[in-house]
Amino acid sequence: MRRRPFVSNTINVWRNFQAREGDSEDVKQAVVRVIISFAAVFFIISSTFGGLRIAPEMGILILFAFYLPFSCVVLWWMKKHPGDHPWRRSIAIVCDMPALTYTMATGGASMLPIFALLMWVTVGNGLRFGPRYLVASTVMALASIAVSTMFNAYMRENPYVVLTLTATAILVPAYIYVLLDRVHQAYAAEQEANLSKSRFLAQASHDLRQPVHAISLFTACLRDANLRPAELQMVDNIDRSLQSVSRLFKSLLDVSTLDSGKVVPRYETIAIQDIIDDVLQQNTEAAHANDCKLRVQACKALVVTDRALLTTVLQNVVNNAIKYAPGRAILIGCRKQNGALVLQVFDQGPGISLEHQERVFEEFYQVRVRGDRDVDGVGLGLPIVKRLTSLMNLTVQLRSVPGRGTCVSLSGLTMAPEQLSPQPRNVRTKPETFSVNGLRVLLIEDDEAVLRATASLLRKWGCEVQAETNIPERLAPCDLVITDFDLGEGTTGSDCISSVRAMAGWSLPAVVMSGHDAGRVRDELADGEIPILSKPVRPAELRSIIMTAAIEAHGPLDQTRVG
């Protein structure tokens, strides 16, 4: 049936005014205010035409004739200018109470049901804005009853009615106050438990990363020790096991960083294909080990997003597909939908049954069926995806058919105009292009095992290494400084680099290795161009980044460069 224009316009206006998920409590209370205004007007009009005696009914109708538009204006104001403004909230409350008081005071016995609206406003203010507003609204409600009693003859003639209203206005908010206090205590305890968990995960991840990092570097040294094929195979097995542990530590660190609330998206215009290529490069070895075929549908779109966060999201999804679809094809592609870009990963794995599909986004939840093979991980990949996509205002959807495969879609990516240029990427030269022979490196690391492992690896590459556990008192000539971030005794990698550069007399290239969140380290570094490596570091990654830093400062190094 075709709607009339007036009805359609009214519905559209109401839809614009409705409270939506994500609106502030002020907006939601403003919506309630409009509903109360309509309810009051409807009650007054129905009472008047119902034959009840309301002497000053016209005065009340005139009041609400002004109050209803006022409520709509307040709602529009809060929608237009969102935010936490206590003064605006207080003005709205101060206007609510007198309007209800006037109605009760001048309306006689038939207006006493307005007391229900008075309690609605009182309790609503407390539940939405906290105990202080509950106390203030309760005091105003009691004042409203007192004023109404002075001007309402029916209330003066029936003191038990006044006593009942007063007791209700005290007991109900008092009970709500007690419940609110308990809820706040429970919430505070839960927050403290989450913070304790985050601190534990962060510290455990950092402490365990150090020995794993050292083992990884010692393993790289073994690989260059002229081992026999069987021994090399054993080294490869150790290396693959270390990669699994490294991914676990990264997941733990990601969770603790998200729990801290310090992750803020940094949006830029990038080519989506760059992110796909990065993830492909990171997963080539894992896909080969699991006999998976990674396929990509080329995409030329530019999007506005956080490069690091979206890379982490796609990396977790692809890594999950590789683990659960061994020997199968995995397709990464994108498509346009409603003016935005959707990034999708398809696999031909065993699929996920319906009862598990909602729970796979819960932390530490893994789909387990009797007789399934063991799979690396602890069930943090998809929960991290869920939290990061929510942080970037994206939507993640999972569709799966048991026996046929799974599709994970990341929708809502904002597309940039094609004429805009993407932000340039930091393209690093492959380490095989140049030699590190003769490169003079100052290595600073407070962990003795990591110090020995890193120094041994650098020396095997032909570097001249000055190994120190803290800022050296005397500085030998060097081309590059590699430092840990937390060096003990209140000294950080940033302090170390500043001191070494001051001693050297020039802006010495530097690299920071840390077991902490790279974002936190980046914020504390004075030089934003310094590369940061998260432990445990892959030897190839370390070699590539120190070569890039040295080449940017000196140009290509040849094989004979010494001192």
As a whole number of angstroms, the distance between CA 263 and CA 240 comes to: 30
- What are the Cα distances from residue 372, in Å, to 319, 329, 401? 18, 20, 18
Residue 337 host element (H or E): strand 329-337
Q: Of 531, 537, 524, 536, which Cα lies nearest the Cα of 550? A: 531
What are the backbone dihedrals phi and psi of residue 182, each rounded to the nearest 5 degrees, phi first?
-65, -40
Q: Please give the chain's pLDDT, 563 residues, in tens.
A: 444 554 444 444 444 444 444 446 667 767 777 776 676 667 666 665 555 444 455 566 556 656 667 777 777 776 776 666 677 777 777 777 887 888 788 877 877 888 888 888 888 888 888 888 899 999 999 999 999 999 888 888 899 999 999 999 999 999 999 998 998 899 888 888 877 776 776 676 667 777 877 887 888 888 777 778 888 888 877 877 777 777 776 776 667 677 666 677 888 888 889 889 888 888 887 888 888 888 888 888 888 988 888 888 898 889 888 888 888 889 999 888 888 899 999 988 888 877 777 777 777 766 655 545 555 556 677 888 888 888 888 888 888 888 888 899 998 888 887 655 555 555 444 444 456 778 888 999 888 888 888 898 888 888 889 998 888 888 888 888 999 888 877 788 888 888 888 888 888 888 888 877 677 777 778 777 788 887 878 887 888 887 776 676 555 544 434 33
pLDDT at 228: 81
Domains observed in the chain: 22-157 (no CATH), 268-368+375-415 (3.30.565.10), 431-554 (3.40.50.2300)
Q: Any residues with CB less than 8 A from the CB of 10 and at least 6 apart, and which?
A: none
Query: What's the confidence (pLDDT) of residue 176?
Result: 92
Contact present, 519 and 263 (Cβ < 8 Å):
yes
Tell me the three-class secondary structure of 541-559, residue by residue: HHHHHHHHHHHHHHCCCCC
> What does the alpha-carbon distance between residue 427 and residue 362 come to, in Å, rounded to a whole number?
36
| b/e 387-413 (16+ beta carbons within 10 angstroms → b) | bbbeebebebebebeeeebbbbbbbbb
| Phi-psi group of 183: left, alpha or beta (phi > 0 → left; psi -120 to 50 → alpha; rest → beta) | alpha
Tokens of 62: 């005139």
CA dihedral 409, 415, 420, 425 (to 10 degrees): -20
Residue 123: which residues within 8 A CB-CB, separation 6 or more? Answer: 134, 172, 173, 176
Q: Tell me how many degrees the CA angle 104-105-107 measures, rounded to the nearest 5.
A: 65
Spatial contact of 262 and 520, defined as CB atoms under 8 Å apart: yes
